[in-house]
Structure 1
Amino acid sequence: MEVEQVLHMNGGVGKSSYAKNSSLQRAVISITRPILDESITIYCNKMLPKCLRIADLGCSSGPNTLTAVSNIFDIIEASSQSFIINSPTFQVFLNDLPGNDFNAVFQSLSSFYEKLKKDKGDKFGPCFITAMPGSFYGRLFPDNSIHIVHSSYSLHWLSKVPRELVNDESGEAHNKGNIYITNTSPSIVFKSYLDQFQKDFTNFLRYRSQEIVSGGIMILTFIGSIQSDSPNNIYEILGRTLNDMVKENIIEAKCVENFNVPAYFPSAKEVKDVIEKERSLCLQKLNTFEIDWDAGFITSDNIDNDKHNSGKYVSDYIRAVAEPILVTQFEETIMDELFNRFADKVNESMSNENWKYVNLVISLTKN
């Protein structure tokens, strides 16, 4: 599986689309807003170029795509007014892998520009937005060209499934019966995932340090963990759901044996270790926070109905994120059945325990 070719959120505006199932990600953007405010305000106090270039990496499509950019505009507008200076021209680059629904992004730009003009007037900007398809684990921009880099809920995705998860000689899967790290995974599985994360994140930092101007900043948010080899994650439950379908002969065992999720949820220490070892950017802030799996779910007066629907809510947003990868390994015809079963298992798990995502938000600068 070539991750770069198949990793993208569900496009369009259908019931399984990311556009319809990204309230949790919007909640995360809202929670991290104070750190974005602080980092950009400090930057504006030091320098505000005539043309400010912003890159949002892993932009996806849907209502969240321009939220971070809009937030950055608000912060810079406030800073400009405080110092009684003119607003800069903005050049914004929206980056994601080639499979992203960029057409939907382009279609949303005219209404975004109209709202920007209505809210901020003719003296703000102007603003020019363009797409930059490609992997952020490689080069994207010229040297010393970007002032602000933002990324939310993208960097836990790896550039590829770790090669070491399969025995080179026998071809046997080391993580048989699992699709991510679980308490039954041998130590080589955890080590392989960690090694791949370290390689990818090192490349990410190295390339961004070449592209960011001196004094530029980067604000990153991604799913992490308290203990990165802990089995307490959403994909462990998805793996159990797939195994149930194997037992019922709905899917073949080898399909599960040969499938591993190309993601890693690092601990804060693992992130900090890579930053300090790579040394090209300075860590200003590293915070962790937790949110419920069903954050963003809108409750009603019916408690029993809410319990059922919150499990479906979680299942729906995981489907919006993971389905394009899953259909490369499993038949598309089983997706409805898979995620209906998954919703039931999530519901059961959340009834027994208050499950949360651990999130890492970091702010870095280039000297």
Structure 2
Amino acid sequence: MEVAQVLRMNGGAGKTSYANNSFVQKKAITLSKPIREEAIISLYSNTLPRSLAIADLGCSSGPNTFSVVSELIKTLEKLCRKLNHKSPEYRVFLNDLPGNDFNSIFNSLDNFKEKLQTEVKGGIGPCYFSGVPGSFYGRVFPDQSLHFVHSSYSLQWLSKVPEGIENNRGNLYIGRTSPPDVARAYYHQFQRDFSCFLKCRAEELVEEGRMVLTILGRRNDAKDPASMEGGYLIWELMAMALSEMCVQGIIKEEQLDSLNIPQYTPSPSEVKLEVLKEGSFMINRVEVCQVNWNPLEDWNALEFEYERSESLSESGYNLAQCMRSVAEPMLVSHFGGHIIEEVFSRFQKILADRMSKCKTEFSNITISMTRKA
């Protein structure tokens, strides 16, 4: 699997698009808001840049793409008015892999900018947007060209499927029946990728630049799928749906055995260890929060920008649609498009059954860092 070619969210604004199904991701963004506010205020107060460069890595498309940018600009404008400072110039860079739906982003850009101008009393400073396609596991920007880097729900995706896991038959990820060397291979690939990410961002950020990352992870160091952690369990349930289809001859056993998802959900200590080893960043804050699999929980409190509909009445359906918006391009590339409706119909039923029996949550790690001088 060439990850850069198949790893993308469903584009557009249809029923199965990421734009209309990224509820869980929205909750994670909302919960990490105080950490981003703290970081951007500290950055501005310490450096007072007249032109501020912000990069959102793994921006995808849909409402979430602009929510963080809007929040950061509003926070800075409020601070500038408090300090009686002129608004800075904003340079916003939206990065994702080339297959991302950049067209949808830029088709909605004018409406976003107009809305932002009306929401901020007195308007905002000049704001320029650029799309930057490319993998963030390599250099994306010039030396010392960024002040603030943000990424949410992107760094759990690896640059490639780990090598040496051909014996991970019947699993899509680290499963209950995976041999011990599979978990080690996934972890080592995460170490290589995250270390590379940190090195590249250290070269691109100015001194005292800030970086806030939210990663789908797990609460502790145990790499035990039986612990019921969300990242392990969700792919195991997907594998169950595919295994049913394999037994019935809808897909071939070798097709299932050869598919492994390029994802790793790290623990907080694993994230911190790589930051300390790379050495370019000072860790300011690390927090872990839990997000329920049901994206309708605390809907009003989290101020979702999505409309309710009858199709959102069943939480199993919600998460199945969310997972479809993320996984469909990979599954189509591997199995073909003819299996998609069937696999997600089965997956929905498996999800609803599991969610009716036990509490199901995702763990999210948010880390705030400063580029050392």
Q: How far, CA to CA, are the matches of 2:354 and 2:219 in structure 1?
A: 19
Superposed displacement of residue 79, structure 1: 1.3
Q: How many pairs does the alignment contain?
A: 355
1:19 aligns with 2:12: no
Look up the SS of the partner of 1:218 in the other structure: strand
Counterpart position of 1:168: none
Look up the SS of the partner of 2:241 in the other structure: helix
Look up the SS of the partner of 1:100 in the other structure: coil
Structure 2 residue identity aligned to 1:364: M
Q: How does 1:70-85 map to 2 (within 5 A)?
A: 70-85=70-85
Look up the SS of the partner of 1:327 in the other structure: helix
Look up the SS of the partner of 1:66 in the other structure: helix
1:229 aligns with 2:229: no
Superposed displacement of residue 125, structure 1: 1.0
Superposed displacement of residue 13, structure 1: 1.0
Structure 1 residue identity aligned to 2:256: V
When normalised by structure 2's length, the TM-score is 0.92
Cα distance per residue 1:25-49 (max 9 Å; x no partner): 1111111111111111111221221
Q: How does 1:1-367 map to 2 (within 5 A)?
A: 1-120=1-120, 124-165=124-165, 173-227=166-220, 229-231=223-225, 232=228, 233-296=233-296, 309-367=314-372
Structure 1 residue identity aligned to 2:163: R
Look up the SS of the partner of 1:45 in the other structure: helix
Structure 1 residue identity aligned to 2:262: P
Look up the SS of the partner of 2:13 in the other structure: coil
State which drifts further: 27-36 or 227-236.
Answer: 227-236
Superposed displacement of residue 295, structure 1: 2.6
CA root-mean-square deviation: 1.6
Structure 1 residue identity aligned to 2:361: K
Superposed displacement of residue 113, structure 1: 1.5
Q: How far, CA to CA, are the matches of 2:357 and 2:325 in structure 1?
A: 25
Superposed displacement of residue 115, structure 1: 1.1
Q: How far, CA to CA, are the matches of 1:152 and 1:243 in structure 2?
A: 31
Structure 1 residue identity aligned to 2:91: Q
Q: How far, CA to CA, are the matches of 1:119 and 1:348 in structure 2?
A: 43
Q: How far, CA to CA, are the matches of 2:69 and 2:298 in structure 1?
A: 25
Structure 1 residue identity aligned to 2:180: S
Superposed displacement of residue 308, structure 1: 7.0
Look up the SS of the partner of 2:289 in the other structure: strand
Look up the SS of the partner of 1:18 in the other structure: coil
Q: How far, CA to CA, are the matches of 1:298 and 1:11 in structure 2?
A: 26
Structure 2 residue identity aligned to 1:185: S
Are 2:210 and 2:370, in contact at CA under 8 Å, matched by a contact in 1?
A: yes
Superposed displacement of residue 117, structure 1: 2.1
Superposed displacement of residue 306, structure 1: 9.7
Counterpart position of 2:305: none
Are 1:308 and 1:347, in contact at CA under 8 Å, matched by a contact in 2?
A: no
Superposed displacement of residue 214, structure 1: 0.3
Structure 1 residue runs of 5 or longer lacking an equivalent are 166-172, 300-304
Are 2:74 and 2:120, in contact at CA under 8 Å, matched by a contact in 1?
A: no
Q: How far, CA to CA, are the matches of 1:124 and 1:14 in structure 2?
A: 32
Structure 2 residue identity aligned to 1:36: R
Q: How far, CA to CA, are the matches of 1:324 and 1:209 in structure 2?
A: 32
Are 1:156 and 1:222, in contact at CA under 8 Å, matched by a contact in 2?
A: yes
Q: How far, CA to CA, are the matches of 1:240 and 1:263 in structure 2?
A: 18
Q: How far, CA to CA, are the matches of 2:249 and 2:199 in structure 1?
A: 46
Are 2:296 and 2:315, in contact at CA under 8 Å, matched by a contact in 1?
A: no
Change in 2 beyond 3 A, CA 1:58/1:307: closer
Look up the SS of the partner of 2:59 in the other structure: coil
Cα distance per residue 1:273-314 (max 9 Å; x no partner): 111111111111111011111134588xxxxx9997100000
Cα distance per residue 1:133-177 (max 9 Å; x no partner): 000000001111100000011000000001221xxxxxxx21001
Look up the SS of the partner of 1:244 in the other structure: helix
Look up the SS of the partner of 1:161 in the other structure: coil
